[in-house]
Amino acid sequence: MSTIPAGTYVIDPSHTEVGFTVRHAGISKVRGKFEKFEGKLEVAENLAESSAIVTIDAASINTGDANRDGHLRSADFWDAENKPTWTFVSSGLEGDGEEFTLNGDLTINGVTKPVALDAEFNGATTDPFGTKRIGFSASTEISRKEFGLTWNAALEAGGVLVGDKVKILLEVEATPQAEDAAESAEAETNA
């Protein structure tokens, strides 16, 4: 049985990071994150029946370099003007609740591929303002070429400017969906 409290949760964007790393010039890693996203988690009593759906605004990329961010938004990479939304929709969950795999379909640049997120439940708490919170860390690695992200430049010494493997890193904090929060407060008052 999972230690994750059952219920419907929404991702708290001010306490969540949707980030990635990718090799640059074969010698370093560039990190980036998305500033705008939303998501809903349905944690079932039987954890295997849980689900998640996340939507990311592709134009909200922030790598700390405005020129690079503009290039990533362009048709060379993910064409954010014409393909503005990325999604993750879960298809299954395996594990014991503390560490688990969340399987699902990731859509980037209009291309959908299955991915497996290695996830860890970081705990549940109630903040000083009375809001219940749950937290997770998750990661996966994808091939950007499989999502149609093929732009690159050859390096004089061999190799390419941008690596193919992209590590996706998530730090998620979620709170009960509004109606669940009201029901929870009412149940506590009636107890």
pLDDT at res. 177? 92
pLDDT at res. 2? 46
User: Structural domain tally of the chain?
Assistant: 1
**Torsions phi, psi for 145 (to 5 deg):** -60, -35
Q: Tokens 């298809």, residue? A: 91
Q: Is the pLDDT of residue 183 over 90?
A: no
What is the rounded CA–CA span in Å between residue 127 and residue 9?
15
Residue range(s) defining the domain that contains residue 116: 7-190
CATH number of the domain where residue 156 is located: 2.40.128.110
Whether 1 is in a domain gets the answer no
Q: Which two tokens stand for residue 5?
A: 């409290």
Whether 2 is in a domain gets the answer no
pTM for this prediction: 0.84
pLDDT in tens, 108-165: 989 999 999 999 999 999 999 999 999 999 999 998 888 887 766 676 766 666 778 8
- DSSP code of residue 165: E
Q: Is 30 helix (H, G, I), strand (E, B) or coil?
A: strand
Which residues have a Cβ under 8 Å from the Cβ of 185 and sit 6 or more positions away? none
Whether 23 is in a domain gets the answer yes
CA 188, chain centre distance (Å): 32
Whether 140 is in a domain gets the answer yes
pLDDT in tens, 50-107: 999 999 999 999 999 999 899 899 988 889 999 999 999 999 999 876 899 999 999 9
